[in-house]
Amino acid sequence: MPRGRMRPHLSAASVLLLALMSVASAATVGNPEDYTADEAERTAADNMVFDDYRGKGCVDDSGFVYKLGERFYPGHSNCPCVCTEDGPVCDQPECPKLHPKCTKVEHNGCCPECKEVKNFCEYRGKTYKILEEFKPSPCEWCRCEPNNEVHCVVSDCAVPECVNPVYEPEQCCPICKNGPNCFAGTTIIPAGIEVKVDDCTICRCHNGDWWKPAQCLRRECLNGQSFS
């Protein structure tokens, strides 16, 4: 048998292990182009310079730069400001008080301004002009005052001179449609005259005291005959 070098014999398991090691090594190394891009981004971020105006000027909300001592409106305030080394110093004036009945306020200037004052009254869901007179009910007389408040007067009704007063539409106080009267028992009789309520009884209302029962005079009737 001729002599020569013996070739090493690799098992299947050894071959598989070598293949896995090669794949892992390739994944670790990665793509060189990726490293170049990441490095460029880091370099650009390190070289980025932000302007610093502290102690040199002021910047408003829109990015405009103002010099020290210059007056400007920073944006967050409607009042003018002066640029200082410590930042903007804004005016804080004593603004006039708004009208208590102001219904429209504008904030375009340094101080709020009232653009519309309430010039009407509200009463029971309705509106009325200043000095307008109205009657919300038959018994009420009202007026819209200059201070936007409603002043009302309620009618004081006299006591009706009857026991059956009625209320007419659009009238405040009750009226006696049939004139003064009073009760004679359960019967209503007119005042001022004697009334024969049955064959044996005559009644009359008290003068001025309509709420009192009538004065009645009863006579004995013979054989069912009435007196004259």
- Residue 203 binned pLDDT confidence (cut-offs 50, 70, 90): very high
Q: According to the model, what pLDDT value does residue 221 have?
A: 72
Q: How far apart are CA 88 and CA 166, in angstroms?
A: 78
Can you give the pLDDT at residue 8? 44
Above 50 in pLDDT, residue 27?
A: no
pLDDT (tens digit, 9 = 90+) per residue, 93-123? 888 888 777 888 888 778 888 888 888 899 9
- According to the model, what pLDDT value does residue 10 have? 46
Domains of the chain are: 58-90 (no CATH), 120-154 (2.10.70), 161-221 (no CATH)
* 83 in Cβ contact with 72 (< 8 Å): yes
**pLDDT, tens digit, for every residue of 31-55?**
545 445 556 555 544 443 345 566 7
pTM of the model: 0.38
Residue 62 sits at φ, ψ, to 5 deg, of -95, -5
Calculate what percentage of the chain has a pLDDT beyond 90. Answer: 25
Question: For residue 18, what pLDDT band results from cuts at 50, 70 and 90?
Answer: low
Mapped to the 3 state alphabet, what secondary structure does the chain carry?
CCCCCCCCCCCHHHHHHHHHHHHHHHHHHCCHHHHHHHHHHHHHHHHCCCCCCCCCEEECCCCCEEECCCEECCCCCCCCEEEECCEEEECCCCCCCCCCCEEEEECCCCCCEEEEECCEEEECCEEEECCCEECCCCCEEEEECCCCCEEEEECCCCCCCCCCCECCCCCCCCECCCCCEEEECCEEEECCCCEEEECCEEEECCCCCCCCCCEEEECCCCCCCCCC
Across the chain, mean pLDDT equals: 77
59-81 confidence digits (pLDDT tens)? 888 888 899 999 988 776 678 88
